Structure 1
Amino acid sequence: MILKRTAIRLSDGRELIYFDETPSTDRDGWPDTRQLPPPPPTSQLRYDPLLDEWVAVAAHRQTRTFLPPSDKCPLCPSTPDFASEIPAPDYDVVVFENQFPSFSDRINADEVTELTDLVPVRPGVGRCEVVCFTSDHNSSFGALTPERVRTVVDALADRTRQMSSLPGVAQVFPFENRGIEIGVTLSHPHGQIYAYPMVPPHTQAALRAAQRHAERTGGRNLYADVLEAEQKAQVRVVAANEHWTAYVPAASRWPFEIQLAPNRQVLDIPALTDAERDAFGPIYLDILKRFDALFDRPMPYISAWHQAVTGAGRELGYLHLQLFSIRRAADKLKYLAGSESAMGAFVNDIVPETAAQLLRDAR
């Protein structure tokens, strides 16, 4: 599939990119008619010396859009009665800079540089984008066609490539939140992409484990070895095709969790071949349908692409998609209470092998 890529500027200077499946689509003549204030300055990054982690503080996000009525949805195409974030009257896939970003390149010249001798502060330089999967407000990712999923994957590859090259970006993280139970504030089918100015804690831990494994095994890739072991065991594998394997991790933290990985080591989405991109949609859509079929209702979930970092340790990466839900029963959610929230020590309510069997049986 050859996509037509058209970039424009919204009235406040933010970038918007149309990814059209029909090359003849013309995006001229649809300017942003709103009068928007300038985008906010970037967030602060504050260092936590007790945990050796950076925390972003983005006070402007307190005013972000929260559960608007469907006729005022900022992710729908614009109409004569309402100008949204997307000026055109229809679209296939659209990506644009978030109006309320956690990270951006708009540095505040008056930024403080430290709070105490142990707590330095620096600008949260990076980028945050919104990805609209479809113009249909009432749809979902699981209702997309495999062809549209391929368009989304190509758009994510484009944005990963561009955002990875930005100064100061350490990792690019595409993700989707689905369901009010997860905390979604806009119901239109969409995801986000964060270009982090630091290596996030989860990735730091994964890199440490991967480095130790490489040193013990003469350079073997940890994720590749885990995936191979799961493929041999089969007990936790839920679905597979020529290019991808979907399995429940043996030490799942969430009631229902799947990792979907390419069968060869790939560092990031841009490195996927055409065949791998085509094969992703059918297996991912199958997994999403299984999630919804578990309790015969839409499953709240987080879908997270784990990609290689841009700097040191990049060779240790292995692209994979983590899909998980906080729903543990038809009428019960898993709340992150004392042990998980305060200590980061997870206690799973469902045996991973049981979860895998339930997902295999779900249709």
Structure 2
Amino acid sequence: MKRTITHLADGRELIYFDRRDDADHSAIDPRDLPPRPLASELRYDPLMDEWVAVARHRQTRTHLPSADECPLCPGHPGSEIPSPYEVAVFENRFPSFSFNTGAYEQVGGLSEVRPGIGRCEVVCFTSDHNASFSSLSDEQAELVVEAWADRTAELSSLPGVEQVFCFENRGAEIGITLPHPHGQIYAYPYVTPRTRQMLDAAGRHQGGNLFADVLAAERKGPRVVAANEHWTAFVPAAARYPFEVHVYPHRQVPDIPALSPEERAAFAPLYTEVLRRLDGLFGVVMPYVAAWHQAPVTYRRDLAYLHLQLFTIRRAPDKLKYLAGSESAMGAFVNDVLPEEAARMLREAITA
């Protein structure tokens, strides 16, 4: 893999990942861009023991541009990526977290305010505007995995970063702002609530690693959707969403960089198969969130077990699951689809 680091007109990093050693990324960004925004402010919620980022500059981010104005398509005047590319990663122009800090005033009461340090990156899976992750070749998908691994290792070493999160939002129903196939990476200055909750549960578990024990039980049960030598994809017994799949490596590793070359190569065909099964359920393009759960930089890292959570909010061909009162206000999920039935439907879905 060839890795090429360049910079955009406002100083943000742009990194190309190529399978070919002769890839040329000498083109420069010709735009006249405004100064980069200041980092968000973090406000502490004492009732929930959680941090909330307030990033006012994100109100002005690009929203659903036409295909000929897509900032992730290479080479045109408004593009974030000057050169043709296989996989490209760049610092988000409208980041939730950054190291470009300013002055932050305290707001009083029991809340504390501090700079939202960290980093947010955009990962472009392909230069093909009309593609999707499910349509990537195994080699292209594996290159994306290599980019995730590279960025996770790099961002985890930055001062103040506590957790690195790689994810993809797909579909207008999910709330995307750019339809071009891409994902994002957040380098948080704190351990996220879900990760802390999972690792604390793992710390209370008796008899072994909680994640490994869940995987071992699911591999014997009726909810497996797909599997190969190194990975298993299954619908969890207590799935929160109508169609939710967790993808685990068979070996406990803390994060993507720790995957072996064989594990990285084996992930691509299994994952794209699961995505095609998701699209095949109702014969429509399914909106989804794909979220990598990785070990934090330091917090209870020995307990973590890398896995991918994939879920859609579509529960029927013409119906969505909205996170309304119970889910949004109480965090108490009510699922409309029996997990065993969801797994059967996914196994039987057309994958062409």
TM-score normalised by structure 2 residue count: 0.98
Is residue 210 from structure 1 mapped to residue 202 from structure 2 by the alignment?
yes
* Residue identity matched to 1:99: R
Answer yes or no: is the 8 Å Cα contact 1:179–1:299 preserved in 2: yes
Match of residue 300, structure 1, among 238, 262, 287: 287
| Deviation (angstroms), 1:285 | 0.8
Aligned Cα root-mean-square deviation (Å): 0.7
Match of residue 83, structure 1, among 63, 78, 93: 78
The secondary structure found in structure 1 opposite 2:107 is strand
In structure 2, distance between residues paired with 1:264 and 1:5 = 28
* Residue identity matched to 2:63: F
The secondary structure found in structure 2 opposite 1:304 is strand
Kindly report which structure 2 residues correspond to 1:264-343, keeping only aligned pairs within 5 A, or say none.
264-343=251-330
* Residue identity matched to 1:200: T
* Residue identity matched to 2:191: V
Give 5+ residue unaligned stretches, structure 1.
none
* Residue identity matched to 2:104: E
* Residue identity matched to 1:66: H
| Deviation (angstroms), 1:117 | 4.4
Kindly report which structure 2 residues correspond to 1:170-189, keeping only aligned pairs within 5 A, or say none.
170-189=162-181
Answer yes or no: is the 8 Å Cα contact 1:33–1:83 preserved in 2: no
Kindly report which structure 2 residues correspond to 1:69-148, keeping only aligned pairs within 5 A, or say none.
69-79=66-76, 82-88=77-83, 90-108=84-102, 110-112=103-105, 114-148=106-140
Partner of 1:47: 44
* Residue identity matched to 1:93: V
Kindly report which structure 2 residues correspond to 1:48-63, keeping only aligned pairs within 5 A, or say none.
48-63=45-60
| Deviation (angstroms), 1:204 | 1.3
* Residue identity matched to 2:184: Q
| Deviation (angstroms), 1:78 | 1.3
* Residue identity matched to 1:225: D
Q: Per-residue displacement from partner, 1:41-78 (whole Å, max 9, x unpaired)?
A: 10010000011000000000000000111111000001
Q: Per-residue displacement from partner, 1:254-306 (whole Å, max 9, x unpaired)?
A: 00000001001010000000000010011001100100000001111000000
In structure 2, distance between residues paired with 1:338 and 1:40 = 35
| Deviation (angstroms), 1:207 | 1.3
In structure 2, distance between residues paired with 1:338 and 1:251 = 19
Match of residue 210, structure 2, among 215, 222, 242: 222
Partner of 2:4: 6
| Deviation (angstroms), 1:83 | 3.4
* Residue identity matched to 2:53: A
Give 5+ residue unaligned stretches, structure 2.
none
TM-score normalised by structure 1 residue count: 0.95
Partner of 1:244: 231
Q: Please list every run of at least 4 consecutive aligned residues from structure 1 whose deviation after the TM superposition is greater than 3 angstroms.
A: none
In structure 1, distance between residues paired with 2:124 and 2:69 = 16
| Deviation (angstroms), 1:148 | 0.3
The secondary structure found in structure 1 opposite 2:175 is coil
In structure 1, distance between residues paired with 2:272 and 2:81 = 26
The secondary structure found in structure 2 opposite 1:116 is coil
| Deviation (angstroms), 1:111 | 1.3
In structure 2, distance between residues paired with 1:26 and 1:346 = 49
Partner of 1:358: 345
